[in-house]
Structure 1
Amino acid sequence: MSMIARLFAGLIAWLQGLFGPRPLRVQFIEGDELPATLPAGRLVVAREDATLWSAGMVCPCGCGRRLEVMLLEGVKPRWDLRLNPRGLPTLHPSVWVKDGCQSHFWLRDGLVQWCGPER
């Protein structure tokens, strides 16, 4: 990618940040447990050495519920975490809350993409 193309892409990303939804940022913590309180606007990832244990976030629907997904190899259900070049997270598969608010969404490049009707 040429320098001008990178500058233009950076400008577009900056403008989207001003006027669009703010992407979730990743915060890594050492250990195998997430903190009791999760900060808004963050995907908190618990890791021990190079092993990813779990990821947690506040439900994006606004209900305030604490959501936690497992990243550890060999457990079920299990999610994969990928970080894009800007360090923004993608989780696979989607996150589906079966009770309460019943949120169902994808987290892609730090942005929540709702499944079904927008919230």
Structure 2
Amino acid sequence: MNALLRTILLFLAWLGFIQKPRYLARYAERHPSLADLADDDFVVVKSGAYPKWACFKCPCGCGQKIALSLQKDRRPSWFVVVDWLQRPTVSPSVHQLAGCLSHFRIKRGNVEWTGSPR
């Protein structure tokens, strides 16, 4: 992330205009390894101009890498919008069906926990 943009984001959070985001988006051409992911990283893996994957660490703290397909022709798939402050919003929600079983949304870089479906 651009250092100036990060400074602006942190300043706006310090002033109370925005909430400090859990995740900040960056772009890459390859999948990051778990070791390459910082706790606040949200990596959009692109092939040319096309987004293919979104990779980030699970927000529950289990340490698992989550890789969401952004390819419309695959199922399941997700949609990611990144705003000018590099805060990602993911749609639909993310529901881990193995491991920690977390269920959450990412909105403007922040995690919103949701209840499990019954």
Compute the TM-score of the two structures, normalised by the length of structure 1. 0.77
Residues 90 and 106 of structure 2 are in contact (CA less than 8 Å); yes or no, is this contact kept in structure 1? yes
Q: Does 1:35 align with 2:32?
A: yes
Distance change (3 Å), C-alpha of 1:27 and 1:12: closer
Give 5+ residue unaligned stretches, structure 2: 1-9
Partners of 2:115 and 2:15 lie apart in 1 by: 27
The secondary structure found in structure 1 opposite 2:68 is strand
Note the aligned Cα RMSD (angstroms).
Answer: 2.4
The one-letter code matched in structure 1 to 2:39 is A
Q: Measure how far apart 1:13 and its partner are.
A: 3.3
Q: Measure how far apart 1:15 and its partner are.
A: 3.4
Distance change (3 Å), C-alpha of 1:16 and 1:98: farther
Give 5+ residue unaligned stretches, structure 1: 1-9
Partners of 1:61 and 1:55 lie apart in 2 by: 17
Compute the TM-score of the two structures, normalised by the length of structure 2. 0.77
The one-letter code matched in structure 1 to 2:96 is V
Partners of 1:79 and 1:41 lie apart in 2 by: 19
% identical equivalent positions: 31
Q: Measure how far apart 1:16 and its partner are.
A: 4.2
Distance change (3 Å), C-alpha of 1:60 and 1:35: same
> 4+ residue stretches of structure 1 with deviation over 4 A?
none
Residues 26 and 86 of structure 2 are in contact (CA less than 8 Å); yes or no, is this contact kept in structure 1? no
Based on CA coordinates, which of the two structures has the bigger radius of gyration?
Answer: 1
Paired residue total: 105
Distance change (3 Å), C-alpha of 1:17 and 1:65: farther
